[in-house]
Amino acid sequence: MGVLATPFYVAYAIMTVILAINRFVQLASPTWDRLLFSSKGVKAWIGLASLSCLIYMIALSSPYASIVYYPDWYSWDYVHTPPNNLSIVVQKVEEVIEIGGIFVAAFFYGGVLLLLCRTRHIFKSSKNYRVEAKILIQAVVITVYCTILNVFWHNYQVLLPASIWSYMALNFMWIFNSGIYPLIYFILNKTIREKVRRAAITRVELSHVFNRNGDHKAITTTTIPKRPSCSGETDGSKVSTTVKQKWRKRFTVSSSPFIKTETIQGKILFLT
């Protein structure tokens, strides 16, 4: 597991720096943006990150460097006993890439912030300004979180007490590191929040209907007569006697406390 997790995180740290450079260059110089991030340029950047990932895989697969999981401490760590003589080198290079990459990315995002402030009279009234502002907020939060995580991870012997709880909390921070991106996206994206809110309200309303009627598999319906014709005859239009669980509908509540009506594709169902 360590052979896969660590190399991919190193590649992720490098891609984070590349993305920060890309956002800065897009605002600072469109000419350099076309040069550095052309089709071939993007492939070269991705190749650089992939190469670093491959090098780390080879290093950790060798008998001279390894990382193992200690179940008693709920923690991962490098093995420094012989023959793992290169573990300390691999760990230090990883530390430089991950922590150094955070500060490099922070530098370029700071440049993005300055450029946005200088050109706010152009972007402030447009949608691009708001989008860039949200991206900047995401980047700042993620940078702060990853900085704390990586600094404590590589220096836990000095910064953390030698207890199982501190090591376990540090590893849970690694797990939550994968969830911080969708969480921030959910907080900043009004459309997604509204969809989740509507889905939750609909589920609660359906639960109330099913609990009152005692049967969530079928809903009994009645015949709704049409308006009498000119000849005085009355025709009936029957609604299906069984409605499946999945349907599209809208709620309306009648004035009577004992009768609830639902509109399903233009037909009225009486739930008693």
Predicted confidence at residue 55, as pLDDT, reads 94
- Per-residue pLDDT of 89-99, as tens digits, reads 999 999 899 88
Q: Please check the confidence at residue 245 and state whether its pLDDT lies above 80.
A: no
Comparison of pLDDT for 75 and 49, the residue scoring more:
49
What's the confidence (pLDDT) of residue 59? 92
Summarize the confidence of residues 115-121 as an average pLDDT.
73
Provide the pLDDT confidence category of residue 125 given band limits of 50, 70 and 90. low
Domain ranges of the chain: 2-188, 215-271
Nearest to 271 by CA among 218, 202, 200, 235: 218
Q: What is the mean pLDDT of residues 163-175?
A: 87
Residues near 166 by Cβ (< 8 Å), separated by ≥ 6? 156, 160
**Average pLDDT of the residues in 117-143:** 71
pLDDT at position 222 is 42
| Strand intervals (E) in the chain | 67-70, 75-78, 224-225, 236-237, 250-253, 260-264, 267-271
Q: Is the per-residue pLDDT at 103 higher than 50? A: yes
pLDDT confidence of residue 106: 86
Q: Does residue 213 have a pLDDT over 80?
A: no
